[in-house]
Chain A
Amino acid sequence: MEMDSLPNGNSTIPTTIIPTTTPSTALSSKLTQLTESLKLEHQFLRVPFEHYKKTIRTNHRAVEKEVSSVISVVNDAADSDISNDDAVQHLTSLVSRLQGLKRKLEEGSRTENLQAQRCRARIDHLESADAENLSEWNNMRMKRILVDYMLRMSYYDTGLKLAESSDMLDLVDIDVFLESKRVIDALQKREVAPALAWCADNKTRLKKSKSKFEFQLRLQEYVELVRAEDHLRAITYARKYLAPWAATHMKEMQRVFAIVAFKSNPECAVYKVFFEPKQWDYLVEQFKQEFCRLYGMTLEPLLNIFLQAGLSALKTPYCYEDDCTKEDPLSQESFRKLALPLPYSKQHHSKLVCYITKELMDTENPPQVLPNGYVYSTKALEEMAKRNDGKITCPRTGLVCNYSEVVKAFIS
């Protein structure tokens, strides 16, 4: 068979799938790709900003409170008869209060400035990514994602160690997560007070997102009172803290009130769930979600999101075969296991990889067919023929043939 030239000449040269890319288009496609991947970094800029904003708000609220309290002290004094001594004492204490406030303000603005610096450092880091330092930059990105994972899974020591050893404390959110650690630790010890304090701190925003986390905390505290058979206090507690939620959570409320009727160990499944210890784990999970939402983070660790997308993009039926190359992550059992419930990737165009050289077979390096139907790249076969006096040995079947016997395949 003679197949190197097409029967009807050059007029219908088949177009091969992979267009030969000139270096400049390759570079520009690399840059679009970079832009696309940078657009996935919303959280990277958002979290330090939310932190910054929170500090600003807290500081401002403290000032407002102190100033209005000073004013009201003055107003009260102006309306009453006080002795000279008392007046001097009053005024002196006001001055020292305000001076204390001034010191606090200075300290506060130092914190604000540091946090602003961190926000800037993040923007600069994104800007620093370009074609030259890409592999180093990606390496850093990998580490950032790992620190994010550590912090979310409460592996604080590892997270801190990794961040410190790579000198990237400004690029990760360790201090933000340490704030959540206190609450999580307390919940694990079955204490709700820090969680409630956190709710109070973020009242308006939680309300805006219609969070019912505080309700769940109150509910749990109430359940604990019932569990301890302190029914009187349970009822008082419910009146005080649960009743305000009646308008929005009537159904749960009714169910919950009913549990007082039982001893702490009800038979009925509907009520039994309230007493299960895993309710506390559930609260921890709930808190983590609220916390992430508040800071504009994804609810899942970044690592899981990118791992999933990557596994789907890489997954082909061939990955699960025995001769899968070890360069493919999916040749490893652990990756295969994670990818199992994920969809296969989809391709609209053929992409052929030479079994021998692992290089792409395209117009530059077209695929050639041995008499037994096995396909290898021109480069690999030429090389082999040169070394063995024009003889080709198929590495997969052992067939030996002459280089002149191979034919080119056109893949469109």
Chain B
Amino acid sequence: MDLNPIKDAFDRVAKKQKMSGSKTQEVVAQMILEIENSLEIIKAEHFGSEVDCKSVFGELKKKLLEIAPLSQLEGTQKELNIALSKYPKQLEKSFNPDIAKAYRNIDFDAHTVNQIIAGHFYRQGLFDVGDCFINEANVPESTAAMKSLFSEMYLILEAMKNKNLEPALNWATANSNKLKENGSDLLLKLHCLQFVEILQGGSRSKALSYVRTHISPFGANHFSEIQKLMACLLWSGRLHHSPYSDLLSPTNWNVVAEELTRQFCNLLGQSFDSPLSVTIAAGFQGLPPLLKFMNVMAGKKHEWQSMKQLPVPVELDREFQFHSIFVCPVLKEQSTDENPPMLMQCGHVLCKQSINKMSKNGSKTFKCPYCPSDIDSTQCRQLHF
């Protein structure tokens, strides 16, 4: 996004503000000077002849009239005001000024939202903030259960940041069976990291014995990985120059930490990402097309409040695609239980209603809309995605 017009408009505001500020200072200084002058005159003449105070004040009045402080200020202020009114206009032009346009006026149950937020804080490891929120918003204590679930994970991750793998290894060993069931080789990955650490520490014999006790049990399924580790022993102390230097990359730690997070959440029965973060990210992708629609359909605000399905397609990234959606290419509608997708003999897929229509309820064969095959509707099979 091009932010330069916004920056320029803002620079103008800031510049005019500075100018107006120094102008004001200057005018006030001028006034002080004039008044001090008059003061001097009266004081000087005090001991001499009778002074005509009135004329001194008259003189001062004239001087101030000449300075015309208010009209001086007015000039710079005017320029500042122009800049001040232009900037928000620029903002409205560059941004979407009303993102609430596609908001449906329903009561979003605040208690539910608060519970979701409290859970989010805990699963993101923001334990203090979560505690504070539960107190302040009166969220039921039960939500704090998330805290104990996730505190171990953050202890492990924190230790890993300090290159301490012990808590991670303890957890993975304790849960090794479950990890195996899920097809995760996290434990091996952790042992590999530990092995490289030991090797970098300079002790070849320690490294070797580590492989023997901890890594060799994986031999059956991970032969090639172990071979690689053994070869590293030869390069002890010079691993940087070896063909295996990638083992030293710090990103390995991040990859393993992510895998650990994934597995930890999985075993807890939780999703990998905070569901709140996922929904909000989906909202940022989904809102622009909805706002565009509302701009076009300005008059249909009323209908918007009661629609059962969004009026426009909202394409989300792969990461938000949790379910298979089949849209019949003939009917242009999503399949349902009553109208399931059907596989035709040629391999193309249509939904049941389309096939019924084209075969006149199974009374005749028809041509596939995508290839010249003749289709017999009785030969079509229902699909389950």
Contact = CB atoms under 8 A, between A and B. Distances in A.
A45 B6 contact: yes
19 contacts: A3-B345, A14-B371, A36-B288, A39-B1, A53-B84, A64-B70, A71-B70, A77-B57, A87-B53, A99-B32, A142-B276, A299-B100, A318-B324, A327-B278, A338-B116, A343-B310, A344-B310, A348-B332, A352-B324
Which 9 pairs from chain A and chain B are nearest by CB? A313-B286, A310-B283, A306-B283, A329-B275, A328-B322, A42-B95, A310-B282, A310-B279, A78-B57
B61 A75 contact: yes
Contacts of A360: 318, 321
A314 B279 contact: yes
B17 interface: yes
Contacts of B77: 60
A360 B321 CA distance: 8
Interface stretch (A185-193, A267-275, A404-412): A404-412
Interface residues of B, number: 129
A320 to B, nearest CB: 11
B290 A8 contact: no
Contacts, number: 396
A98 B32 contact: yes
B331 interface: no
Interface stretch (A153-161, A172-180, A237-245): A153-161
B69 A67 contact: yes
A35 B325 contact: no
A95 B320 CA distance: 68
Nearest to B286: A313
A307 B283 contact: yes
Interface of B: 1, 3, 6-7, 10, 13-14, 17, 20-21, 24-25, 27-29, 31-32, 35-36, 38-39, 42-43, 46, 51, 53-54, 56-58, 60-61, 64, 69-70, 73, 77, 80, 84, 87-88, 91-92, 94-100, 102-104, 106, 108-110, 112-113, 115-117, 120, 126, 128-129, 132-133, 136-137, 269-273, 275-288, 290, 307-318, 320-327, 329, 332, 334, 336, 343, 345-349, 370-373, 381-385
Interface string A223-247: 0000000000000000000000000
Nearest to B269: A326
A153 B110 contact: yes
B322 A42 contact: no
Interface residues of A, number: 138
B329 to A, nearest CB: 5
A373 B343 contact: yes
A58 interface: no
A197 B318 CA distance: 52
Contacts of A101: 28
Interface string A273-314: 000000000000000000000001011100111111111111
Given A67-B69, A112-B17, A116-B17, A346 B313 contact: yes
A370 B275 CA distance: 33
B309 to A, nearest CB: 5
Given A155-B133, A347-B313, A409-B383, A326 B271 contact: yes
A116 B31 contact: no
Nearest to A411: B349
A410 B100 contact: no
Contacts of A40: 95-96, 99, 284, 287-288
Contacts of A211: none
B370 A410 contact: yes
Interface string A28-63: 000001111111111101100110010010001001
A352 B385 contact: yes
A374 interface: yes
Nearest to B87: A49
Given A40-B99, A64-B73, A309-B287, A3 B61 contact: no
